[in-house]
Structure 1
Amino acid sequence: MVADLQAHRWRAELAVEEIPSPQRIAPYAVAIAADVSLREHDLGSGRLVILHDPAGVESWQGQFRAVAYAKGEVDPEMVTDTMLAEVGWSWLVEALEANGADYIAPSGNVACTWSRSFGGMEEQPARAEVEIRASWTPRLSPTGEGVTAHLNAFAELLANTCGIPPLPEGVVMMTPLRQRRQDR
């Protein structure tokens, strides 16, 4: 599984690196961090941890658990929409399903925030962000085969969180959507 993760071909907008994984949650774990950027515009970030306990964990309902975090800027008008949290959660579920990732027991939360700066920071623009924290039990072989679908789903979740639409392999966006709106 670790070899599949290290050899994974990520979307062009993601800069991914392996990071230290938590040591006390499961006997085995691997973790990555990803920054999302497009044409030198930072759009968001995320992390994915895959935990493995060969004995299984009752609350996981299996031997593996994927734990994901995705954060991205959204248009300020979006954060006032009471459905944004549901939409954010649907990005996860749809990404898992669209990539053929077999899973059970999803859980998590979606936070939508808006902030405005004052005083010495007053000239900074208002920010609106969506943050998704989720976990699910990937149904993998005992050696971790099948993880690629979950990695692709994580990449799609990050892209959706940052406003990057799904694109066929080999196609890239010319200009980030949010940057285009800001330039108007």
Structure 2
Amino acid sequence: MNALAQVPSEFLHALETLRKARCRRELRLDEIPAPSRLAPFAVALGAEVVVSGQGSGTAPVHGPAAMALAAAAVGDNAEDDELATGRFILLYDPDGSAVWDGEFRIVTYIRAQLEAEMGNDEMLGTVAWAWLVEALENHKAPYRAAGGTATRVLSESFGTLSGRPGSIDIELRASWTPTSSDVSSHLEAWSDMVCTFAGLPPLPDGVSALPRRRRS
């Protein structure tokens, strides 16, 4: 029997909507192994926000993007700079879940390094959560039962690594239940959120379609 014949039609529809999502060109999306214990059916995407060594000509509002673009302007041989990373996981349980309040659940993770002034802001966690809520609202992605945790990670180096400057990272782990199997707007909202974490300003142009799944 064809393996796809055993996959519920609702989950197949959700996969199709993910492929139709349109994300910013700075965002690299690739399918990664999905967790097998969280739900009977799952798909996972890994994301990186990169700025080409050639520079984009736009001014980031915060975060490491400003430094990356400044370094790119020094010469044409600069490599791409990774500004933020993330994971987007779509879970599906045909039997539903009382905890999820539905059959689908989106689980996400974002991490980015911040400038010291912003990393020390006591309201950073509240701001990070507000960014997510705003992104979902801007993309008209209906959801319920949302929850999340924002964490600041301070890294300091000692001994032979004492010359390495300290850094402050922000991590956001969040999950929510989409109200239908059409989750394209949810991926678009989340991808904008990753770019926001990277310090890139919102841009209405320069979007590109999410590539098809890779065949093994």
Same fold, judged at TM 0.5 (above)? yes
Could you tell me which residue of structure 2 aligns to residue 162 of structure 1?
198
Could you tell me which residue of structure 2 aligns to residue 99 of structure 1?
139
Alignment partner of 1:78 out of 118, 131, 153: 118
Could you tell me which residue of structure 2 aligns to residue 117 of structure 1?
157
Q: Determine helix, strand or coil for the equivalent of 1:108.
A: strand
Can you list the C-alpha shifts for 1:12-53, whole angstroms capped at 9, x where unaligned?
111111011111211111100011111211111000100011
Could you tell me which residue of structure 1 aligns to residue 21 of structure 2?
8
CA distance in 1 between counterparts of 2:163 and 2:23 reads 36
Unaligned runs of 5+ in 1: 172-184
Larger gyration radius, structure 1 or structure 2:
2
Q: Determine helix, strand or coil for the equivalent of 1:111.
A: strand
Deviation at 1:54, TM superposition (A): 1.5
1:26 aligns with 2:39: yes
Alignment partner of 2:103 out of 39, 50, 63: 63
Deviation at 1:7, TM superposition (A): 4.3
CA distance in 2 between counterparts of 1:68 and 1:24 reads 16
1:157 partner letter:
M
Alignment partner of 1:137 out of 167, 177, 180: 177
* Percent of pairs with identical residues: 43
Q: Determine helix, strand or coil for the equivalent of 1:169.
A: coil
Alignment partner of 2:183 out of 131, 136, 147: 147
* RCO comparison, higher one (Cα < 8 Å, 6+): 2
Mean Cα deviation higher: 2-11 or 122-131: 2-11
Give the TM-score, by structure 1 length.
Answer: 0.86
Mean Cα deviation higher: 162-171 or 29-38: 162-171
Can you list the C-alpha shifts for 1:100-146, whole angstroms capped at 9, x where unaligned?
00000101100012222121112222211110000000111xxx2x2
Equivalenced residues, count: 167
CA distance in 2 between counterparts of 1:84 and 1:47 reads 20
Check whether the contact 1:76–1:114 (CA below 8 A) recurs between aligned residues. no
1:90 aligns with 2:103: no
Unaligned runs of 5+ in 2: 1-13, 53-79, 208-216
2:27 partner letter:
L
Q: Determine helix, strand or coil for the equivalent of 2:92.
A: strand
1:63 partner letter:
E
1:136 partner letter:
W
